[in-house]
Amino acid sequence: MKLLFEKSVAGRASSILPVCDVPVVDLADNCKRQRPLRLPELSENDISRHYSQLERRAHGVNNGFYPLGSCTMKYNPRVNEAVAALPGFTDIHPLQPAHTVQGALEALSLAEKYLCAITGMDAMTFQPAAGAHGELTGVLLIKKYHEARGDTARVKIIVPDSAHGTNPATAAMAAMSVVNIPSGPDGCVDLDKLRAAVGPDTAGLMLTNPNTLGIFEKDILEITKIVHDAGGLVYYDGANPNAVMGVIRPGDMGFDCVHLNLHKTFSTPHGGGGPGSGAVGCKDFLAPYLPKPHVGVKDDAYCFRGDCPESIGKVKSFYGNFLVVLRALAYITTLGRESVADAAKNAVLNANYMMKRLSECYSVANTGLCMHEFVLTLEKEAKEKHITAMDIAKALLDRGIHPPTMYFPLIVHEALMVEPTETEGKETLDEAADIFIDIYRQAMADPESVHSFPLTTPVGRPDEVAAARNPILRYTFE
């Protein structure tokens, strides 16, 4: 498929832009471009076709099953899009006086109230734009808490090896040193290793729960207690509360701070780096450090509180990605209290059903019940028959299924991490399981055959070694 620049024909144009309706300002010469801007010259039809073609080449939740573990690629109800597109929300500006945007402020305040109720936290910020950004914000709160008490020795963040990869990266980004602790044979945090790791230099612990093996940490109360007893705080990576929302609350299990990926569990379509929200909730004692501004109430009206002298400052402009928060609010209010929990229970049911069906031939990294996702391992098949996780993932493409997350978590070799989500029906799960199993059987019967898949996609199997050795990172014009 050609790029827009390659489709460009000199002199062709479209009239998508309206006529300028504000006074044209003449710029000083030294502010003007020296060369004309290089833009493709195309008709509206050319552009429309181009993007329709691209759209057909992409795989989204609307095209088929998308079991991308750790990403919660579920169907997001369209009504939430409609709410977020209301002109009263889209046609306002963050610098408008508060009395002209009371509805928007109320929406932020309500979303904070409901998400605090779901997480068991006391206050929440919507400034962070993504999960990792929320983690950074959370760890900065923890850091500030210790600093404010004059306890400067607490510079270490403990991260179990079953954590999401962003957790150690976050701790390092916040200029803390990372202490890794290995998990036990059951895939959960090893309590003895944790006890040995904590001390007067412990700032806190970051726990991904359910962890990246899809397991609920069984000793979670003991984990938060050990860290608290040592003087540290506990951070809950709640990027995917899809298995637990409405059922358990991090705040009740001793966590001081949590982030949620509104773009995963709470109904914002994501992928390709689109706008997200890594909402960060915390307990009262951390609330003074939250990023500012924060919505409050004064004289019976919503306002932005200016009195935040201890705030860590801003982590993003204004209030974060407002429309993502609106979708979350619409999602929670349409579901209601009971259905939030039902969604979580169905996510767990679907994952366990699929895991059970696939375990007919695939090896599961950790047996026992899983939460919203589970991890398969092709380690044995790779050693014995050179059939890798990559081979299975590529073969799925030909069958209309988006591959699971591959080679993650790092603690499992030849990993395929499957997350079916609650929005798939039994028929889809059965159909997908049949395809997974069919591919496995074919691979075992004829190992050579699976190395060439996919055969029907626009791009086949790229030469990954060449791509890594000689990357072409930039388009060059002739």
Ligand X SMILES: *Cc1c(COP(=O)(O)O)cnc(C)c1O
- Decide whether 237 or 256 has the Cβ nearer to ligand X: 237
Q: What are the CA-CA distances from residue 81 to residues 86, 128, 277, 331, 415 (Å)?
A: 9, 21, 15, 10, 34
Taking CB under 6 A as the criterion, which residues in 331-370 touch ligand X? none
- Decide whether 132 or 171 has the Cβ nearer to ligand X: 132
User: Cβ-closest residue to ligand X?
Assistant: 131
Write down the least CB distance from residue 164 to ligand X, Å: 3
Taking CB under 6 A as the criterion, which residues in 287-326 touch ligand X? none
- Decide whether 131 or 254 has the Cβ nearer to ligand X: 131
Among 224, 261, 267, 377, which residue sits at the site for ligand X (rule: CB under 6 A)? 261
Residues 6+ apart with CB under 8 A from 120: 249, 250, 251, 252, 253, 255
Tokens standing for residue 119: 């997480």
276 binds ligand X (CB under 6 A): yes
Write down the least CB distance from residue 120 to ligand X, Å: 18
Write down the least CB distance from residue 130 to ligand X, Å: 4
303 φ, ψ to 5°?
-150, 175
117 φ, ψ to 5°?
-65, -35
- Decide whether 144 or 164 has the Cβ nearer to ligand X: 164
176 binds ligand X (CB under 6 A): no
Taking CB under 6 A as the criterion, which residues in 230-259 touch ligand X? 237, 239-240
Write down the least CB distance from residue 217 to ligand X, Å: 13
Write down the least CB distance from residue 231 to ligand X, Å: 25
166 binds ligand X (CB under 6 A): yes
- Decide whether 237 or 424 has the Cβ nearer to ligand X: 237
- Decide whether 164 or 249 has the Cβ nearer to ligand X: 164
- Backbone region of residue 452 per phi and psi (left: phi > 0; alpha: psi in -120 to 50; beta: other values): alpha
The residue written with tokens 């006086």 in the block is 97
Write down the least CB distance from residue 368 to ligand X, Å: 20
Q: Per-residue x/- mask for ligand X, residues 9 to 38, rule CB under 6 A? A: ------------------------------
- Decide whether 277 or 423 has the Cβ nearer to ligand X: 277
User: Rounded to the nearest 10 degrees, how much is the dihedral formed by the CA atoms of 265, 268, 274, 276?
Assistant: -60
Distance, CA of 66 to CA of 51 (rounded, Å): 22
Q: Which helix (H) or strand (E) holds 238?
A: strand 233-238
Q: Per-residue x/- mask for ligand X, residues 117 to 146, rule CB under 6 A? A: -------------xxx--------------
Among 66, 70, 144, 378, which residue sits at the site for ligand X (rule: CB under 6 A)? 70
265 binds ligand X (CB under 6 A): no
Write down the least CB distance from residue 24 to ligand X, Å: 41
Kindly provide the b/e burial profile for residues 377-408, where b requires at least 16 CB atoms within 10 angstroms of the residue's own CB.
bbbebbeeeebbbbbbbbbbbebebbbbbbeb
Distance, CA of 142 to CA of 154 (rounded, Å): 10
**Cβ contacts of 182-186, under 8 Å, gap ≥ 24:** 183/211, 183/411, 186/215, 186/218, 186/366, 186/368
Distance, CA of 478 to CA of 463 (rounded, Å): 25
Helix (H, G, I), strand (E, B) or coil at 178: strand
Taking CB under 6 A as the criterion, which residues in 186-215 touch ligand X? 208
Residue closest to 118 by CA, chosen among 349, 279, 311: 279
- Decide whether 162 or 423 has the Cβ nearer to ligand X: 162
Write down the least CB distance from residue 273 to ligand X, Å: 9
Distance, CA of 432 to CA of 426 (rounded, Å): 10
164 binds ligand X (CB under 6 A): yes
**How many residues of this chain bind ligand X (CB under 6 A)?**
13
- Decide whether 107 or 260 has the Cβ nearer to ligand X: 260
Distance, CA of 164 to CA of 95 (rounded, Å): 36
Q: Which residues bind ligand X (CB under 6 A)?
A: 70, 130-132, 164, 166, 208, 237, 239-240, 261, 276, 278
